A and B are shown apart, each in its own frame.
Chain A
Amino acid sequence: MDNKLEPVVKVLQEKFGATYEEFRGETHVFVTAEQIIEALTLLRDKYEFELLSALTAVDYYPQTSPRFHVIYQLSSLAKNVTVQLRVLVNGDQPKVPTASGVYEVANWREREIFDMFGIEFEGHPDPRRILMPEGTQGHPLRKDFPLGYEEPQFTFNFEEIDLRKPYAKE
């Protein structure tokens, strides 16, 4: 681990009981959803992490608890270090408090996660979809959302699917 990062990880461990792991020179710290706002505020104010580089999520379907990880990639310009915070979220009614009060960039990024994964951000100032059209059902980046439009037809269900299959009309 980068020695500039050690005090940061240490304080997260002491204050929030966070665990961490390392992979290919990156540090990933796991915190809970209740602590994330406090942790982000602490890192921004005390440890000069001015930039929330990326905010995204991953779906681990069919695993249900936790089903999602919400990922906060933080950069410090002053110290030139990065750290990743990860929040584990359960599959039924996934909820995380909004970080848009700490980093304003989170506003749009959280809207995107809500749009793509259906994770709700409590207290979000503008909880609308951002990329998909308004009123779309389902969340496309979930693993149980089908990739293609067309259902594959096999011998046993060919006719059944054929009945509801849309064809190009003249």
Chain B
Amino acid sequence: MTQIEEVNYDQYRHLVSERAFTGETMLLNMGPQHPSTHGVLRLLLELDGETIVNAVPDIGYLHTGIEKNMEAKTYLKAEVMSDRLDYMNTVGNNLAYCLAVEKLVDLDVPPRAQAIRVILTELQRIASHLVWVGTFGLDLAAMSMFLYAFREREYILDILELCSGQRMMTTYIRPGGLWRDVPVEFETAVRDFIKMFPRRIDEYEALLTKNPLFLDRLLGIGVLDAATALQHGVTGPMLRASGVNWDLRKARPYMGYEQYDFDVPVRPEGDTYARYLVRIEEFRQSLRIVEQALNKLPMGPVRSDNRKFVPPPRSEIGVSMEALIHHFKLWTEGFSAPKGYVYSAVESPRGELGVYLEGDGGPKPHRVHWRTPSFDNLSVLPKIVKGHLVADLVAILASTDIVLGDIDR
């Protein structure tokens, strides 16, 4: 179907300086299989000795056409694809998608489901930052950090498995609530984690924060100022490390975030070390949110009782004709959303994760667009690596915390 044409290299000439054509500077491909690119990212580097003159990111190696695929599925079935975007933040992706669907069809979520959603997304944020701090350490030759971080991440994945039966691709959050209530072991499991984890954060800090080798590699490297960050649409911890206090959980609270008391860590420096400090502090703040949400976890249903959008419980199907009809309709045809479009955004571990959802009156979305934070956070990379050494590029790229599934969709 799709043919590939011969490529004309003239369209790439403007990406590198004139010196590359005289042989004065060297062109070097970093990736797509380089371990420090955290996925399949190719960076075309123009080097003057060891110094970077130009860096041209080349993305699309992981493009799976998720936006196109979602258009061909019903609202409920399309949710399964949302897990596969940012595979480090699967619960957060589900939440972003479900909030957009709920906004489009005007559906309420019971308070218990809201609190559980908050607990799980915050745990997922910790898990995502753990992968980040682990691979960040790995890239900077702190091998043990990786092992410690993955050890703790396993606790969180166990909690997700307890709720949904899946470690990663959970699809546990559904439009109108949750798939089912959490099991009785949930509270103990989360409390154990809350008790154990603060000491572990101190351990990471003891390993890294004041480590002279670590500081040498990070301080003053890859400085990003606030104005450039905003121009490039950078959000999340990267923006907050550049001195902008912007967190969607505070600015536009969703899922009852306004009830919880937490701070937004901000650092003015904008360098790689500031990004590290912001994320380490986010561990503690996320843990605070989880603890508060768990302490006041209300009882009650976890799914909306609007049967036009949310399937009835199994117990009703045997005794109620309407329930049976609703069940049948929802699982065959799916629910219809009105004609209209909404944009809804949540704060993912990487920044503003937005979903543009458009309904055409039928059971399938007309258009789903994912505004993924990694895409914009990567687009600023060529600016901040200029003039640094190749070894610094590894540190800067690791500090941006990109996920290629999130970029390429």
Instruction: Say yes or no for B332: interface residue by CB 8 A criterion.
Output: no
The complex places the Cα of A58 from the Cα of B358 at a distance, in Å, of: 9
> How far, in Å, is B10 (CB) from chain A's closest CB?
11
Determine if A105 and B231 form an interchain contact, defined as CB atoms under 8 angstroms apart: yes
- In the bound complex, residues from chain B placing their C-beta under 8 Å from that of A71 are 356
> With A84-B343, A128-B11 known to touch, is A53 a contact of B375 (CB < 8 Å)?
no
**A80 at the A/B interface (Cβ < 8 Å)?**
yes
Q: Give the contact stretch, choosing among A11-19, A90-98, A135-143, A153-161.
A: A135-143
Complex CA distance for A82 and B356, rounded to whole angstroms: 13
Residues of B within 8 A of A128 (CB): 11
Point out the residue from B68, B69, B251, B343 that lies within 8 Å of A26, measured CB to CB: B343
Shortest C-beta distance, A121 to chain B (Å), equals 15
Chain A residue total in the interface (Cβ 8 A) = 44
Task: Please tell me if B149 contacts chain A, counting CB pairs below 8 Å.
Answer: no
In-complex Cβ contact of B1 among A59, A129, A149 (8 A): A149
Question: Given known contacts A54-B371, A56-B369, is B343 in contact with A82 (CB within 8 Å)?
Answer: yes
Contact A132 B1 (CB under 8 A): no
User: Would A135 and B60 count as touching, CB distance under 8 A?
Assistant: no
Cross-chain contact B233 with A73 (CB below 8 angstroms): no
Whether a CB of chain B sits under 8 angstroms from the CB of A169 is: no
Cα distance A132–B67 when bound, in Å?
A: 14
Q: Is the CB of B352 within 8 A of A140?
A: no
Given contacts A80-B251, A130-B60, A141-B68, contact A136 B4 (CB under 8 A): yes
Residue among A104, A136, A147 making CB contact with B231, cutoff 8 Å: A104
Partner of B366, one of A52, A58, A82, A132: A58
If A58-B367, A84-B343 touch, does A135 touch B4 (CB 8 Å cutoff)?
yes
Mask for A100-144, Cβ within 8 A of B = 1, else 0?
A: 000111011100000010000000011011111111111011000
Q: B76 near A: Cβ within 8 Å?
A: no
- In the complex, the answer to whether A131 meets B69 with C-beta atoms within 8 Å is no
Q: Does B252 reach chain A (CB closer than 8 Å)?
A: yes
Considering only CB atoms, which chain A residue lies closest to B342 in the complex?
A24
Question: What residues of A have a CB within 8 angstroms of the CB of B376 in the complex?
Answer: 105, 108
On whether the beta carbons of B379 and A24 are closer than 8 Å, the reply is no
Chain A interface residues toward B at CB < 8 A: 23-24, 26, 28, 50-54, 56, 58-59, 71, 73, 77, 80, 82, 84, 103-105, 107-109, 116, 125-126, 128-138, 140-141, 145-147, 149
Taking A56-B371, A147-B72 as known contacts, 4 extra A-B pairs with beta carbons closer than 8 A to each other, sorted by chain A number, are A23-B342, A24-B106, A50-B230, A73-B371
- Give B contacts to A, CB under 8 Å: 1-7, 11, 14-15, 59-60, 63, 65, 67-69, 71-72, 103-104, 106, 230-233, 235, 244, 246, 251-252, 340-343, 345, 352, 354, 356, 358, 366-367, 369, 371, 375-376, 379, 408-409
